[in-house]
């Protein structure tokens, strides 16, 4: 159970770790938006583009985003493997979706390899499936770099500050943030507690690893009941502790760590702007860049 | 029923920034019939060490033999865990079932015993921890007092009739009277379960009940001593940073004030003082 390290904070001393959580959250949002600016094959072809043009501009745009991600990972000093590990959670989902997209592609297609009923294997389908896979993988890796380099407390603090405007329309932003940070804070504690109880029951020869699904689910009862009891006890204790330290919500509350934007955030901003511009340049063909590169690519192939 | 530990090492989360060497080349033997104490500061590796004894933690390097079973190789978990009873800190937090009887019977039932056998052992264990079986069997474990809950949890382990009982701070969080009761209970249990291993931070308990004591510090073994060896030797005590048990502390204070008494345990101190009295009377 200790191995739920996916996207968990990875302590290191790096510029990315030191960046303002608010800036990082905004950058990640920009990063996600950027990924969706790249059109699908179908959309591009319907817009009157050539398949070759699509391949070049999509490859270039994805390339720029990957370059940005690699730069960010390098600056963060988080091992690349840690970031790649986040893919594991969605790997099966993405691969199955990609295969389905390739086999049942129903969009514009001029390069049909094989067709039978609703099954269409086309070059367009293959490209569409693989761009979707790349898009989703990148979609998972960006935010996981955020959680790897930002502690949960910083993250919720940053979110609270960013969502501040909502409190003007009576949404309890602070309360939501504190609930989130308590929940996040308690996850490792509960895992540890579950581990302890599990060990205690294992010492009484409880068997968690054999039998069918129902048997295994039933075997978890001796762990879940004590865990539930102890979470209620813990919640009570925490409420008393907060009360006795005069906690009374957001009103008049100051912060121990005041968030400050610094030069690192400026560097981040510049990088993400350059990346965004690069992506747009290829997607919308600014200065005819995509055309020039496409023609060059065709000439190389020919 | 001995536990033979040889060059045992253990590292948590190896090859990550969280890497932590919990045990470093530990070698000693717990003999049959020992009331064995393990002491050391928080984080010294005591809990990690005892979790090896019933296979909750797999041997990473070195070797460990419990009752002739080599834990480095494949073995029958159930058989081992039935023989090595493990009582963790705050064992009352493991209670889960609707009635005390069913909760105590959880262990024996997992061993695959017959209903009659489970019942017999449950009665035996509950009586052994000093509770009245008929009065308590149908109550919910969650409505008992703290001390009773701990006894029931202890009974849940004893019901498996272990040959080695391992206890991690069995008296933590109890009042002085509850502490005394639990310790006397453990002493009584020793008649049925010959080998007992106990972790404690309370030097009084350690010196009064244990016949041999292992001292751990930062994952390393600092030595295995008898109580009088350990608490009679101020050099070791100061070096390891331990507190003396009350009798040894009194002896030390007396010596500092010029009364020549030696003694690390209650019995030794009483003898020494009586001898002193004899000298003065003569």
Per-residue model confidence (pLDDT) at position A2: 45
Q: Which chain A residues touch B94 with a CB distance below 8 Å?
A: 197, 200-201, 204, 222, 226
pLDDT at residue A5, rounded to an integer = 44
The pLDDT of residue B280: 60
Can you tell me the distance from the alpha carbon of A50 to that of A109, in angstroms, rounded to the nearest whole number? 11
pLDDT tens-digit profile of B196-246? 999 998 888 998 899 999 999 889 999 999 988 888 887 888 887 778 888
pLDDT at A254: 79
CB-side exposure of A75: number of CA atoms within 13 Å?
18
Name the residue among B233, B200, B184, B225 with its Cα closest to residue B50: B200
CB B152 within 8 A of CB B104: yes
CB contact under 8 A, B96 and A226: yes
Quote the ipTM score: 0.87
Question: What integer pLDDT is reported at residue B91 of this predicted model?
Answer: 92
Q: Do B93 and A226 touch (CB under 8 A)?
A: yes
Output the six-digit token pair for A12. Answer: 């290191």
Helix (H/G/I), strand (E/B), else coil: B169: coil
Residue B1's pLDDT band (cuts 50, 70, 90): low
Q: Do A11 and B95 touch (CB under 8 A)?
A: no
The dihedrals phi and psi of A122, each to the nearest 5 degrees, come to -135, 160
Contact B91 A200 (CB under 8 A): yes
Partner residue facing B56 (CB), from A12, A203, A223: A203
Report whether pLDDT(A262) > 90: no
- Residue A124: strand, helix, or coil: helix
Amino acid A289: pLDDT = 75
Higher pLDDT: B279 or B146? It is B146
How much is the average pLDDT of B156-176? 93
pLDDT of B272 > 60? The answer is yes
pTM of the entire predicted model: 0.71
Q: Shortest CB distance from A199 goes to which of B56, B142, B160?
A: B56
The DSSP letter of residue A31 is: H
Nearest CB to B107: which of A12, A196, A204?
A204
DSSP-assigned beta bridge partners for residue B199: B38, B168
Q: pLDDT, tens digit, for every residue of A70-125?
A: 999 999 998 888 888 888 888 999 999 999 988 888 777 777 888 787 888 888 88
Q: Do A204 and B156 touch (CB under 8 A)?
A: yes
Closest to A39 in 3D by CA, of A135, A163, A104? A135
> Is residue B11 less than 8 Å (CB to CB) from chain A?
no
Report yes or no: B142 at the A interface, CB cutoff 8 Å: yes
> Residue B268: helix, strand or coil by DSSP?
helix
Instruction: For residues B255-277, give the mean pLDDT.
Output: 82
**Confidence class for position B281, pLDDT limits 50, 70, 90:** low
Q: Which of A203, A222, A223 lies nearest to residue B86, judging by beta carbons? A: A203
Question: Would you say residue A27 has pLDDT above 80?
Answer: yes
Burial class (CB in 10 A: 0-12, 13-18, 19+), B265: buried
Q: Residues of A with CB below 8 A from B86's CB?
A: 200, 203
> What's the whole-number mean pLDDT along residues B77-82?
88
Beta bridge partners of B36: B197, B212
Report the share of chain A in percent with pLDDT over 70.
97
The Cα of A10 is separated from the nearest Cα of chain B by a number of Å equal to 8
Per-residue tokens: B147: 């001390």
pLDDT of residue A4: 47
pLDDT tens-place string over residues B31-51 = 999 999 999 888 889 999 999
Higher pLDDT, A46 or A25: A25
């Amino acid at each position: 159970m200790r191995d739920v390290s996916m996207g968990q904070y990875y302590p290191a001393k790096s510029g990315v770790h030191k960046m303002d959580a608010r800036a990082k959250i905004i950058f990640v949002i920009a990063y996600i938006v950027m990924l969706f600016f790249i059109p699908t094959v179908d959309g591009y072809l319907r817009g009157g583009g050539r398949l070759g043009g699509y391949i070049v501009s999509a490859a270039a745009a994805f390339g720029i985003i990957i370059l940005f991600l690699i730069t960010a990972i390098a600056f963060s000093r988080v091992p690349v493997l840690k970031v790649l590990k986040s893919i594991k959670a969605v790997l099966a989902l993405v691969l199955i979706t990609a295969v389905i997209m390739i086999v049942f592609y129903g969009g514009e297609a001029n390069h049909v390899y094989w067709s039978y009923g609703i099954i269409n294997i086309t070059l367009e389908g293959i490209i569409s499936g693989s761009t979707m896979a790349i898009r989703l993988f990148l979609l998972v890796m960006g935010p996981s770099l955020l959680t790897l380099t930002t502690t949960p407390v910083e993250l919720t603090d940053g979110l609270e500050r960013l969502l501040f405007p909502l409190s003007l329309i009576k949404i309890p932003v602070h309360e939501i943030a504190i609930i989130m940070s308590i929940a996040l804070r308690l996850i490792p504690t509960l895992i540890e507690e579950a581990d302890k109880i599990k060990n205690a029951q294992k010492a009484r020869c409880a068997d968690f690893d054999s039998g069918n699904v129902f048997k295994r689910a039933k075997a978890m009862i001796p762990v879940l009941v004590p865990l539930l009891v102890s979470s209620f006890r813990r919640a009570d204790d925490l409420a008393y502790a907060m009360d006795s330290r005069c906690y009374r919500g957001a009103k008049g509350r100051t912060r121990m760590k005041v968030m400050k934007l610094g030069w690192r955030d400026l560097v981040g901003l510049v990088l993400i702007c350059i990346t965004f511009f690069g992506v747009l340049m290829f997607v919308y063909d600014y200065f005819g860049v995509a055309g020039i590169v496409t023609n060059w690519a065709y000439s190389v192939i020919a | 029923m001995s536990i033979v530990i040889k060059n045992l090492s253990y590292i948590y989360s190896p090859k990550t920034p969280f890497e932590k060497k919990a045990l470093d080349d530990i070698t000693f033997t717990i003999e049959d019939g020992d009331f064995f104490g393990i002491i050391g500061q928080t984080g010294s590796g005591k809990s990690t060490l005892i979790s090896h004894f019933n296979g909750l933690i797999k041997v990473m390097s070195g070797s460990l033999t419990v009752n002739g079973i080599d834990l480095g190789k494949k073995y029958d978990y159930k058989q081992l865990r039935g023989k090595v009873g493990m009582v963790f800190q705050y064992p009352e937090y493991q209670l889960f079932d609707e009635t005390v009887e069913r909760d105590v019977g959880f262990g024996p039932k997992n061993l695959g015993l017959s209903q009659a056998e489970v019942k017999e052992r449950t009665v035996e264990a509950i009586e052994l921890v000093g509770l009245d079986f008929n009065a308590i069997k149908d109550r919910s474990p969650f409505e008992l007092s703290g001390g009773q809950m701990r006894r029931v949890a202890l009974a849940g382990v004893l019901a498996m009739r272990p040959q080695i009982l391992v206890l991690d701070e069995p008296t933590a969080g109890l009042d002085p009277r509850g502490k005394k009761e639990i310790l006397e209970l453990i002493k009584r249990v020793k008649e049925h379960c010959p080998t007992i291993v106990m972790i404690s931070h309370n030097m009084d308990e350690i010196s009064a009940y244990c016949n041999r004591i292992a001292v751990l510090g930062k994952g390393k073994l600092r030595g295995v001593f008898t109580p009088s060896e350990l608490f009679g030797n101020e050099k070791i005590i100061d070096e390891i940073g331990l507190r003396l048990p009350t009798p040894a502390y009194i002896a030390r204070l007396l010596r500092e004030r010029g009364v020549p008494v030696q003694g690390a345990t209650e019995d030794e101190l009483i003898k020494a003082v009586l001898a002193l009295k004899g000298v003065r009377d003569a």
